[in-house]
Amino acid sequence: MSYDIIIVGGGIQGVATAYELAKRKAGKILLLEKTFLSAGSTGSCAAGIRAQFGSEFNVSLMARSLQIFEHLAEELDVTNDFLELWQGGYLVLAYSQAEFDGLKERVKVQHRFGIATEVLSPEEVAYRFPRVNIEGIYGATYHKRDGHADPLHTTFAYGEAARRLGVEIRQWSPVTRILVEDDAIQGVELADGTKEYAPTVLLSAGAWSTALARTAGVDLPIWGEKHEILITEPWERVLDPMVISFSRGFYIQQRPHGSFIMGLPPVNPVKWYDPEEFDFGPNSDFLSRMSNEATHVLPFLAQVNVVRQWAGLYEMTPDHHHIIGPVDEVRGLWVAAGGSGHGFMFGPVMAEQLSKWMIGEPMDIDLTPLAFRRFKEGKLVVEPAVVG
């Protein structure tokens, strides 16, 4: 069979882009997913969405992404309950004066893009969020439109909407090879030996993208980094914001369901380029480190039982930004991967802008600085506000 566009990978990035492309009548689209939609990093993520970034670029992108999330239920014909959209804000804690000063600098950028982040003294934190232990805190920033959306349900909703627009989504269909001839994309080969043809292939296979790109002779600097996370039993709402610290690495929030979801970065991160190396096994070390951090900053959590812990991959790049756009070396090959620990929240805006780029419409936010060629040209993109 032949298509106009083949998308490889059914995480938030691939599925949302399929929808945005179909909405713009980009032609006949096939999405191939190795297992099931959101089975990769998307399904293992912490569901956090925030506009509290530091660079103009990221703040402008996330300002738009929040807007999309706020209207996504309507757009995709589901409900906010289904998307588990919860805007209880992100409370970013500073554990040194230098860190607090840095956060305040970022707030100036955020204000320029209409993100109404507030700067709070420790006393204000204690007053507004009495459950938060302010010991060791120099201050905090809080943006009330940040929060939570369920990554699985968001992906499923995009998927259903894409199907309604005629996108063919095939699950349990691993791609083994990207087919290239004379430096131009031909299509892809699947594990069962069948081939699907298209002049355009979008590679959105998260941390698996690197191995797939190699089959097209392209060496992407994306690696998987194992991050662990846990979830507790549900309680009635007691904590509105996501509570995070960039310096200590923790993030903790209560989901609309009532459970608490929380994570911490790995102590000695290892770079995995080859899916053969990926390891999703749980560690008791994470459980004890996480419990210590969590019960220190939110002491009431000592009464809350953990239900489950798991691990997923941050799909990292050297400058912690996506690689998005065409790959110059192979005509027709596009990449959208490498969300570096925040690929879920960027998914909607990246999909929207990328779809415009792919069909040759002008973008509202120029994504070209994120193209793969930035590594050849030595033009890395810098962002100060990353967790882990």
Partner 1 sequence: MRRITEHPILEFPERKVITFYFEGKPLTAYEGDTVASALISNGIQAFRESIELHRPRGMFCAIGNCSSCLMVVNGVPNVRTCVTPVEEGMTVERQLNRGVMP
Question: Which residues are paired to 261 by β-bridges?
Answer: 231, 253
268 belongs to the binding site for partner 1 (CB under 8 A): no
223 by DSSP, 3-state: which? Answer: strand
From residue 28 to residue 67, the character string flagging contacts with ligand FAD as x (rule: CB under 6 A) and all else as - is ----xxxx---xxxx-xxxxx-------------------
> Least CB distance from residue 388 to partner 1, whole Å?
28
Question: Binding partner of residue 115 among partner 1, ligand FAD, none, CB under 5 to 8 Å per kind?
Answer: none
Question: Binding partner of residue 293 among ligand FAD, partner 1, none, CB under 5 to 8 Å per kind?
Answer: none
Quick one: 182 or 236, whose CB is closer to partner 1?
A: 236
| Site stretch for partner 1 (CB under 8 A), options 38-46, 191-199, 229-237, 332-340 | 229-237
Quick one: 304 or 324, whose CB is closer to partner 1?
A: 304
Candidates 234, 318, 369, 384: give the one binding partner 1 (CB under 8 A). Answer: 234
Instruction: Give the separation between CA 294 and CA 264, rounded to whole angstroms.
Output: 10
> Least CB distance from residue 293 to ligand FAD, whole Å?
15
Candidates 305, 360, 377, 378: give the one binding partner 1 (CB under 8 A). Answer: 305
| Site stretch for partner 1 (CB under 8 A), options 201-209, 261-269, 297-305, 334-342 | 297-305
Q: What are phi and psi of 18, to 5 degrees?
A: -60, -45
Residues in contact with 227: Cβ distance below 8 Å, sequence separation at least 6, in sequence order: 263, 265, 266, 311, 312, 313, 314, 341, 388
Candidates 187, 256, 326, 341: give the one binding ligand FAD (CB under 6 A). Answer: 341
258 belongs to the binding site for partner 1 (CB under 8 A): yes
Q: What are phi and psi of 193, to 5 degrees?
A: 90, -15
Which residue has tokens 């893009």?
A: 113
Residues in contact with 103: Cβ distance below 8 Å, sequence separation at least 6, in sequence order: 92, 94, 119, 139, 140, 141
Which residue has tokens 């929207």?
A: 352
Q: Quickly count: other Cβ atoms within 10 Å of residue 261's Cβ.
A: 20
- By the 8 A CB rule, do 132 and 298 touch? yes
Alpha helices in the chain (DSSP H): 12-23, 41-44, 56-76, 80-83, 97-112, 122-128, 151-164, 209-214, 284-297, 343-358, 373-377
Quick one: 207 or 301, whose CB is closer to partner 1?
A: 301
Quick one: 278 or 300, whose CB is closer to partner 1?
A: 300
- By the 8 A CB rule, do 169 and 141 touch? no
> Least CB distance from residue 239 to partner 1, whole Å?
9
Instruction: Give the separation between CA 183 and CA 8, rounded to whole angstroms.
Output: 19
Instruction: Give the separation between CA 364 and CA 204, rounded to whole angstroms.
Output: 21
Question: Which residues are paired to 316 by β-bridges?
Answer: 223
Quick one: 164 or 308, whose CB is closer to partner 1?
A: 308
Quick one: 67 or 133, whose CB is closer to partner 1?
A: 133
284 belongs to the binding site for partner 1 (CB under 8 A): no
Quick one: 236 or 377, whose CB is closer to partner 1?
A: 236
Q: Which of residues 171-190 bind ligand FAD (CB under 6 A)?
A: 174-175
Question: Binding partner of residue 258 among ligand FAD, partner 1, none, CB under 5 to 8 Å per kind?
Answer: partner 1
DSSP letters spanning 274-292: SGGG------HHHHHHHHH
- Applying CB under 6 A, the residues found at the interface with ligand FAD are 8-14, 32-35, 39-42, 44-48, 174-175, 204-206, 208, 212, 227, 229, 263, 312-315, 337, 339, 341-345
- Applying CB under 8 A, the residues found at the interface with partner 1 are 233-236, 238, 258, 300, 303-305
